A and B are shown apart, each in its own frame.
Chain A
Amino acid sequence: MLISYRWLERHVDLSGVTPQQLAEDLTLSTCEVEGVEAFAPHLSAVTVGHVVTREQHPDADKLSLCTVDVGAGEPLQIVCGAPNVRAGLKVAVATVGTVLPGDFKIKRSKIRGVESCGMICSIRELELGDEHDGIWELPQELAVGTAVAEALGVADWVFEVDNKSITHRPDLWGHRGIARELAAIYGRELKPLDTSLPAHGDAPGLPVKVSAGACARYVGLAVDGVQNGPSPLWLKLLLLAVGQRPIDLLVDVSNFVMLDLGQPNHLFDRTRLDARGIEVRLARAGETITTLDGEERKLSDADLLICSGDRPVALAGVMGGEDSKVEGDTGQLLLECASFDAVTIRRTSSRLGLRTDSSARFEKSLDPTLPLQAAGHLVRTLQALQPGVTLPSAPVEDGDWSDPAHVLELRGARVRRLLGVDLSDERIATLLTSLDFGVERAGEVLRVRVPSRRATKDVTLEQDLVEEVGRLYRYDNVPERALLAEVAPPPHDARRELVTRLQDRLAGGAAFHEALSYSFVPDALLATLGLAEREYVRLVNPVVDGERCVRRSVVPSLLALLEKNRRLRADVRLFELGKGYLPERSDARGLPKEVHELALVWTRPKPGQDARFDAGLLAQLRGVLDDLVTAVGYPAPSWERPPAELALEPWMHPGRTLVGAMRLPEAQQWSLPIFLCELEPGLHRPLGLVNELAGEVAIARVSLDALLACAPRPSGYVPLPRLPGNKVDVALALPVDVPAGDARAAIEQSGKGLVREVELFDVYQGPGLAEGRKSLAYHVLLQSDQKTVSDEEAHKFFKRLERAVGELGGELRKE
């Protein structure tokens, strides 16, 4: 909302208060002022000029050649195209060098061969209105050579108040409300404003009937004798300052009253209203009204209508109807000032997407005593401009309303306890009184009368009064205090700790980068991944239509990041720790099951022919996971092929997926918290990972919930060996289809308890080996706590291993 400094001055003396100071004080005590700007700064840059002579331009019929006195030096020669320019006028002149709105800089120029040293401005060129039929004719009494703003006394400052900061304050939606705050802040008087209704005739008024609870009060007042036309300059300038376009006197005065007191109002052409009068009722479902903006609106039975007889003439509190609007020179008006229900207006306005200055105010629960005050203010404003304006009849009103003003008890002790400031009851009373609260001492408590303008919603509890005291005292003056209390250490949070350790390990040596991705997954991605048929928590109102599914798992969002990153980097490693939601497992209150997940994706080009046997990404990521799981406090998982009954995700490679099995604390119970796989081969192309971006893609998904349920690695340590071990290398030639796991088992068994470490360091197929054979080479450490492992012992190990390998269909390779 925009607030004008000059407008505020109509209500409170602001002498000595700079606009910047005012903005700061309002911000610190009342509401947030987001900006302070000079109103129409170009009005200070244009000068009052006097057209001394006017002749026809020698070469153009429609142009005039003028000499204009601007109070300095010789009169200026200016070429002007306006039809109304004539000698003797006072005009607004932009001299050479002046910058007008739209960064339009005035230059010395030649127009049809004649030099022109400036521009005589129209109202539109100064952004004061739409009039562009001619130049702006200024009042004759203005002094030549002064700035137009100064000559007219219209220099003004505009404050932008953040609407959110006054959502709860219906009284601040007009200048008088803000002025009342300033009066309290500066300890000054609010200037009196006569809002009483002037004398009226005794003709019968137009009947008013309220037949819906959503209208607490409807006041109809007949007004006669208005000559519609342009508004006076002062009014136009006030409206312009707060961003309202002046239209004509009736619209402008109506807006003026709304922006002054905060009470929206509406003027009908009374000659176009049914003699049966006004009825306020709920719309019938499907009923329509064409609003002032020319749109036909289809209504529901929750919308409130103002009807003439039975014909809708206004969408209550939102916008007037097209066919009863005031047009031309109607002198017979009906002024509507009403109190509509905040919720009803808000629903209608948001359902129709029609937010107006009026609906914004009604939504805040306006003071029901305001309508009559607003009517008085409006009529008095009109009469001051046009003494012929009369009221033929008394106002007619209907509705079931009561004055919301009420009394609250306030304990001084409560104020001191909440604010932490030692304020006396007297001081509290003074602060409240300055804000127009009535205060009476009653023993230990203050009985505080809340005025109606603050009583509709805003101030209803004792604590609300504490706020009034605090903000006027200023929170900034509350001394900072240390928070003392006996505090026990926070409870252990295993998941939070796990998350931290996972993140640290991955971002360290594993060289994964942590990404965060949206909780909403695009439909297109889900379709690509074959996940469209799952159940999702779905947004009713997504930002983008195709992005309404809330993710169940983090993996799809990360897969979507691969292509763009692979374009940038050859090796892409990303992880994310996030939440997924499973609606089919909602709890009794309807909250979907929340799952916590770690997702890892890794892609890079395929390793070359001569790369080590474990250079492939599946082996690499498996190594990362072994390290990760161990580092965060669990035994390394046992990697297995997924059991046949386990459904794989469609993005998992059906032939290259492993599950990491881990023990649960209960004996013999296993859990599968980890999936490790390559990307389903058919998805490389849809995900854009082909041609120059082709490569291996490995994925892992770790359920944190399942991992946390697993048995942790027992804490403890292995004592250091006391006796030296014997390191030997063995190479096994085996049929290609014998799994490496069998070879390892053979080594361990052959050691008879002496095998401490086994490390596979080479896998080979090719020259030197028979067809269909592969060689697996291991470093093996034989060690015992009881004795030094002798060469003889090692020899026995080789003998046993030779037999075991033979059983696998292979043999030991000799060096």
Chain B
Amino acid sequence: MEDRLNELRAEALARVAAATDEAALRAVDKDYNGKEGAVTLLLASVPGLPPAERPVVGKGANVLKRDIQGAIAARKEALEQAAVEAERSGAGFDATLPGAPQSRGSLHPLTQVRREVEAIFTSMGYAVLDGPEVELDYYNFQALNIPADHPAREMQDTFYCDREGRLVMRTQTSPVQIRAMERLAPPFRVIAPGRVFRNEEQDATHEHTFHQVEGLVVGEDITVGHLSGVLKGFLRRFFLRELEVRLRPGYFPFVEPGFELDIRCPFCDDGCRVCKHTRWVEFCGCGMVHPRVLDAGGVDPEAWTGFAFGFGLDRLVMLRYGIDDIRHFMGGDLRFLEQF
């Protein structure tokens, strides 16, 4: 009987060693340890054996059963290892096949940059306000210290909405300054992004519809130094680098003193088309709020001072993406919109 055990052992272990997949291993297990398996049958025959042989054969068959199971487990482990190893080689992988296309929409670049601007200012405690695009002459001009027949009206090429000149397409976001002062009690700080309109012929750098961001801060001792600090801080954060900036006199009837803030042209060192060879790009008009404007907003100019600024959002987007034609913004062309 011992020979039979050895025979079975050799045969079974050889089959385990030869097995190349799990199914073959299961077959081996079944053939020896299954209900009708050779080892199982051997064990079943033990009671019929001579008493002397019984312990030897019984023990031997049990050992054999365990050894076959062990060999199967080891072989299975080895096969899995080999399979992982084979998988690791990456055979058959085509690295040049494209990814599965995902559909995706887009946010207008003006929206994206506007949000960036809003995020920077809201992080500095500014509220974001909105105002009407069809606006009363009072808010767009009169309350901003631009009475009827003021030459500044002609600088702005206004679209009028009635013959009496009472209603206009707002030429600037500045009317929101007055609306803000009417609504809020100082101290406050707000920005107001929005669409504005000027009756201009269109070309690559001129649009009759464009976008501005207005800012207004009113407080107890607001100075030119604060204005400079806020705008420079904004620019640093927006462009993520130190940009050379200059503040020079500029004329806007609703501020006094009034300034223009220029930034060093981000595209060149010695003059290019963008900066019209001046090395400076106009960024924004700003100044200390004119006392008459504070008055119009119901704010006492002796008790409070403030600064205001306004810059073109379109220009900022054009700088950011290197866009050379402002007409793309309102053109609604998918080839343009899809890129953002």
Contacts and interface: CB of A to CB of B under 8 A. Distances in A.
Given A363-B151, A591-B134, A490 B127 contact: yes
A550 B161 contact: yes
A482 to B, nearest CB: 6
B136 A420 contact: no
B256 interface: yes
Given A418-B223, A475-B228, A537 B161 contact: yes
B105 A573 contact: yes
B266 interface: no
A310 interface: no
B227 to A, nearest CB: 9
A516 B134 contact: no
A422 B155 CA distance: 35
A511 B105 contact: yes
Contacts of B249: 28-31, 165, 467, 471, 475
A540 B163 contact: yes
Given A34-B278, A471-B257, A518-B209, A483 B217 contact: yes
Given A512-B105, A515-B108, A518-B330, A463 B290 contact: yes
Interface stretch (A58-66, A89-97, A560-568, A667-675): A560-568
Given A471-B257, A480-B228, A519-B195, A513 B337 contact: yes
B225 A421 contact: yes
B6 interface: no
A749 interface: no
Contacts of B136: 589-591
A538 interface: yes
A503 B197 contact: no
Contact of B223 (A34, A419, A503, A591): A419
A541 B105 contact: no
User: What is the size category of the interface that chain B forms with chain A?
Assistant: 35 or more
A470 B257 contact: yes
Contact of A517 (B259, B332, B334): B332
A29 B155 CA distance: 22
A479 interface: yes
B154 A513 contact: no
A506 interface: yes
B209 A591 contact: no
Interface residues of A, number: 91
Interface in A576-626: 579, 581, 589-592, 594
A475 B105 contact: no
Nearest to B132: A594
Contacts of B108: 514-516
Contacts of A517: 330, 332
A591 B175 CA distance: 14
Contacts of A506: 105
A540 B164 CA distance: 10
B247 A478 contact: yes
A510 interface: yes
Interface stretch (A212-220, A342-350, A649-657): A342-350
Contacts of A342: 149, 151
A493 interface: yes
Given A29-B249, A346-B151, A540-B163, A464 B256 contact: yes
A158 B152 CA distance: 26
A487 interface: yes
B224 A514 contact: no
A520 B161 CA distance: 12
A102 interface: no
Contact of A503 (B111, B135, B277): B111
B160 to A, nearest CB: 4
B151 A364 contact: yes
A483 B162 contact: no
A574 interface: yes
30 contacts: A28-B246, A29-B248, A34-B276, A167-B155, A417-B223, A418-B305, A419-B224, A420-B224, A461-B291, A463-B257, A476-B247, A478-B224, A480-B225, A480-B229, A483-B217, A483-B230, A490-B128, A506-B105, A507-B104, A507-B105, A510-B105, A514-B106, A515-B108, A515-B337, A516-B108, A519-B197, A537-B167, A539-B160, A550-B134, A591-B167
Interface of B: 103-108, 110-111, 115, 122, 124-128, 130, 132-136, 138, 149, 151-152, 154-155, 159-163, 166-167, 169, 187, 189, 195, 197, 199-202, 208-209, 217, 219, 221-226, 228-230, 232, 246-251, 253, 256-260, 276-278, 288, 290-291, 305, 329-330, 332-335, 337-338
Given A476-B247, A541-B199, A589-B136, 13 more contacts: A164-B155, A342-B149, A363-B151, A463-B256, A481-B229, A487-B189, A496-B128, A496-B130, A513-B106, A519-B197, A573-B105, A589-B138, A590-B136
